[in-house]
């Protein structure tokens, strides 16, 4: 059974191309356009990994991670930030919130897939 | 400004007179009460003055480079106000233009992305269908069912096997016929023996007849027996002769059948060999064609994969849109801030109460640096600012 990944990004084109890359590699994908939307879409789905942007309206990536880590099913779920932000202070904030990794945009498809493979066996 | 200074001078004089007034009263109690009243009045006046002076000073500091609205600079202020008002109309237009660019680019990228994904999907589907069609025909390592080519091979091998069996049966028949011919030869020997016995019996009967004649009447009975023996011998000879003839006929028939069967067996063997050779050649040719088709199909699959990867690369490279969007948004945000600052400057110049907005001042660059998310944005800002600074040697 294919793993389900949650993609959170306020850019429709980013959601589209990340979904395309992951679906092409055989993963199931749930897309959300911000943290709040992501929390609403999770329901009871078994999410193997979360890939989220940092700067988003309504609820940003850091707050999403904090809220997800508070949920019983997401305590150990890998959560990787996929963002244009590259400042160490922001990375540290992400790490403290509970992020498992950080990928700076623009990303290479193989780089993203390799990162996913490290977390999702 | 001059008018304001005169007011301040008069107020200071009043303060000094009021402060010295209680000292002129001789009665201690009255002097104390008067001093208290003066202190309260001076405190209230001082608070009002400080409030007014502070506000005036703040306005002066904020618009320190702007002309003071007196009779000589009013026309100039009006001109600046006009310009500011015109600028204020430009900012929302610029912001809307940029937001439209973001939206249109995103729509275009989404559409292009969708089409590219369709191309990849179709190419993959086509390659998969070709591979499945080939697998149905030629089989694949993953497939358990017997494919058509294998079934054909099995059927043709069965035909060759049957032809070989026919040939084997014929050969077996030939061996049996040879055995039968050999047996006929043995029978002929036996017949020859019978003929010899018959001849000897005839000779014996003849001798017996002579001896019977010599014995006269006493030998008459014996002569009859000898005659019967001679007759039997003659019949034996005739029977042996007939058997010999029949054996020759049977031998001749067997020989004919043998030759015919041998000919048939030879032709069947030849046919079987030729069929096997044709089938093997056909199978070899079919296998070669299959190998070639498989190679072509593998090549097609590789090309399709490569195409899909290339297109995936193109789709991914379209993430520039998201990066461009963020960069434009990082231009829109300062534009809005500058627009707000213009509004406040305009209000100050008009003498209106400026909105106490917490917007950043254009000369404070740290907020912009904090707003940027990309290293390239920060680098551009750094490069731009370093170029704009004067170099002192």
Q: Which of B326, B265, B298 is nearest to B130 (CA)?
A: B298
Tell me what pLDDT residue B197 has: 93
Element (DSSP H or E) covering residue B108: helix B74-138
Q: A6 and A48 in contact (C-beta within 8 Å)?
A: no
State which CATH number among 3.10.180.10, 3.90.1580.10, 3.40.50.2300, 3.30.1020.10 fits the domain covering A4-117.
3.40.50.2300
* Integer Cα distance of B250 and A71 in angstroms: 105
Tell me what pLDDT residue B3 has: 43
For the whole prediction, is pTM greater than 0.80?
Answer: no
Q: A20 and B312 in contact (C-beta within 8 Å)?
A: yes
- Of A73-82, B46-55, B103-112, B276-285, the range with the lowest mean pLDDT is B46-55
Q: Where are chain A's structural domains?
A: 4-117
Q: Is B109–A105 a contact, with Cβ atoms under 8 angstroms apart?
A: no
SS3 call for B248: helix
Q: Is B308–A13 a contact, with Cβ atoms under 8 angstroms apart?
A: no
Chain A closest CA to B315's CA: distance in Å?
6
Cβ of residue B108 closer than 8 Å to a chain A Cβ: no
Q: Is B316–A84 a contact, with Cβ atoms under 8 angstroms apart?
A: no
- Measured between CB atoms, which of A11, A21, A55 is closest to B373? A55
Q: What is the mean pLDDT of chain B?
A: 77
Nearest CA in chain A to B121: A24
Mutate one of B316, B333, B371, B375 to test the A interface: name it (highest A CB count within 10 A).
B316
Q: A50 and B358 in contact (C-beta within 8 Å)?
A: no
Q: Which of B55, B119, B93 is nearest to B353 (CA)?
A: B55
Q: Which of A47, A46, A64 is nearest to A9 (CA)?
A: A64
Q: Is A17–B315 a contact, with Cβ atoms under 8 angstroms apart?
A: yes
* Integer Cα distance of B5 and B213 in angstroms: 205
**Best-predicted range by mean pLDDT among B56-65, B177-186, B343-352?**
B177-186
Kindly list the distances between the CA atom of residue B219 and the CA atoms of A7, B205, B214, B232, in Å, as whole numbers in the listed order.
139, 13, 7, 20
Q: Which of A22, A24, A25, A26 is nearest to A50 (CA)?
A: A22
What confidence tier does B17 reach under pLDDT thresholds 50, 70, 90? Answer: low
* Integer Cα distance of A74 and A71 in angstroms: 6
- Measured between CB atoms, which of A14, A24, A83 is closest to B373? A83
Partners of B120 on chain A (C-beta within 8 Å) are 24
Chain A closest CA to B101's CA: distance in Å?
14
Partners of B315 on chain A (C-beta within 8 Å) are 17, 20-21
A·B CB contacts under 8 A: 65
B154: number of Cβ within 10 Å: 10
Q: A81 and A54 in contact (C-beta within 8 Å)?
A: yes
pLDDT higher than 50, residue B50: no
Cβ of residue B321 closer than 8 Å to a chain A Cβ: yes
pLDDT higher than 80, residue B42: no
* Integer Cα distance of B108 and B105 in angstroms: 5
Chain B closest CA to A25's CA: distance in Å?
11
Cβ of residue B110 closer than 8 Å to a chain A Cβ: yes
Q: Is B321–A109 a contact, with Cβ atoms under 8 angstroms apart?
A: no
Q: Is B374–A13 a contact, with Cβ atoms under 8 angstroms apart?
A: no
SS3 call for B393: coil
Q: Is B322–A105 a contact, with Cβ atoms under 8 angstroms apart?
A: yes
Average pLDDT over residues A88-110: 91
Chain B closest CA to A73's CA: distance in Å?
31
Element (DSSP H or E) covering residue B155: helix B148-214
- Measured between CB atoms, which of A55, A85, A105 is closest to B319? A105
pLDDT higher than 80, residue B166: yes
What confidence tier does B364 reach under pLDDT thresholds 50, 70, 90? Answer: low
pLDDT higher than 60, residue B152: yes
Structure-block tokens of residue A121? 């066996």
Mutate one of A26, A84, A107, A108 to test the B interface: name it (highest B CB count within 10 A).
A84
Structure-block tokens of residue B101? 């660019």
What confidence tier does A81 reach under pLDDT thresholds 50, 70, 90? Answer: very high
In chain B, what percentage of residues exceed pLDDT 70? 73
Chain A closest CA to B79's CA: distance in Å?
40
ipTM (interface pTM): 0.83
Partners of B330 on chain A (C-beta within 8 Å) are none
pLDDT higher than 90, residue B60: no
**Best-predicted range by mean pLDDT among B57-61, B117-121, B224-228?**
B224-228
Q: Is B373–A85 a contact, with Cβ atoms under 8 angstroms apart?
A: yes
* Integer Cα distance of A42 and B128 in angstroms: 33
Residues of A in CB contact (< 8 Å) with B are 9, 11-14, 16-17, 20-21, 24, 54-55, 83-87, 90, 105-109
Partners of B321 on chain A (C-beta within 8 Å) are 11, 13
Q: Is B117–A20 a contact, with Cβ atoms under 8 angstroms apart?
A: yes
Chain A closest CA to B112's CA: distance in Å?
10
- Measured between CB atoms, which of A9, A21, A84 is closest to B373? A84
Cβ of residue B316 closer than 8 Å to a chain A Cβ: yes
Q: Is B106–A13 a contact, with Cβ atoms under 8 angstroms apart?
A: yes
Kindly list the distances between the CA atom of residue B73 and the CA atoms of B4, B207, B283, B346, B349, in Å, as whole numbers in the listed order.
17, 187, 105, 15, 11
SS3 call for A27: coil
What confidence tier does B20 reach under pLDDT thresholds 50, 70, 90? Answer: low
Chain B closest CA to A84's CA: distance in Å?
6
């Amino acid at each position: 059974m294919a793993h389900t990944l949650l993609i959170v990004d306020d850019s429709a084109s980013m959601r589209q191309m990340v979904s395309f890359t992951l679906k092409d590699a055989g993963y199931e994908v749930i897309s959300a356009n911000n943290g709040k939307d992501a929390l609403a879409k999770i329901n009871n789905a078994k999410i193997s990994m979360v890939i989220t942007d940092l700067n988003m309206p309504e609820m940003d990536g850091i707050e999403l991670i904090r809220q997800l880590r508070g949920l019983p099913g997401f305590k150990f779920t890998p959560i990787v930030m996929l963002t244009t932000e590259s400042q160490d202070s922001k990375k540290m904030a992400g790490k403290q919130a509970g992020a498992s990794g950080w990928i700076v945009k623009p990303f290479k498809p193989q780089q993203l897939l390799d990162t996913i493979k490290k977390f999702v066996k | 400004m001059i008018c304001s200074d005169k007011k301040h001078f008069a107020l200071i004089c009043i303060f000094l007179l009021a402060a010295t007034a209680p000292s002129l009263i001789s009665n201690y109690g009255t002097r104390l009460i008067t001093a208290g009243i003066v202190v309260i009045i001076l405190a209230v006046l001082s608070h009002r003055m400080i409030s007014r002076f502070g506000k005036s000073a703040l306005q002066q500091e904020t618009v320190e480079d702007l002309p003071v609205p007196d009779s000589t600079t009013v026309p100039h202020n009006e001109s600046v106000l006009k310009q500011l008002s015109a600028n204020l109309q430009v900012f929302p237009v610029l912001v809307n233009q940029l937001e439209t660019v973001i939206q249109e680019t995103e729509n275009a990228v989404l559409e292009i992305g969708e089409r590219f994904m369709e191309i990849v999907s179709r190419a993959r589907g086509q390659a998969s269908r070709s591979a499945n069609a080939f697998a149905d025909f030629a089989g694949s390592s993953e497939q358990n069912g017997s494919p058509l080519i294998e079934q054909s091979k099995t059927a043709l091998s069965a035909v060759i096997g049957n032809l070989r069996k026919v040939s084997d049966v014929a050969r077996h028949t030939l061996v049996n016929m040879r055995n039968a011919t050999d047996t006929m030869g043995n029978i002929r020997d036996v017949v020859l023996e019978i003929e010899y016995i018959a001849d000897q019996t005839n000779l014996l009967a003849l001798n017996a007849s002579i001896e019977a004649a010599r014995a006269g009447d006493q030998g008459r009975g014996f002569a009859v027996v000898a005659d019967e023996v001679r007759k039997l011998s003659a019949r034996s000879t005739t029977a042996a002769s007939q058997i010999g003839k029949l054996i020759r006929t049977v031998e001749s028939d067997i020989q004919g059948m043998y030759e015919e069967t041998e000919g048939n067996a030879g032709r069947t063997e030849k046919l079987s060999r030729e069929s096997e050779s044709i089938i093997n050649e056909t199978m070899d040719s079919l296998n070669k064609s299959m190998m070639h088709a498989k190679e072509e199909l593998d090549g097609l699959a590789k090309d399709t994969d490569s195409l899909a990867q290339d297109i995936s690369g193109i789709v991914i490279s379209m993430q520039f849109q998201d990066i461009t969007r963020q960069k434009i948004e990082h231009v829109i945000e300062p534009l809005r801030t500058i627009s707000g600052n213009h509004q406040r400057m305009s209000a100050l110049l008009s003498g209106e109460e400026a909105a106490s907005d917490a917007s950043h001042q254009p000369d404070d660059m740290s907020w912009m640096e904090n707003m940027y998310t990309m290293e390239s944005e920060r680098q551009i800002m750094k490069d731009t600012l370093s170029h704009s600074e004067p170099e002192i040697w």
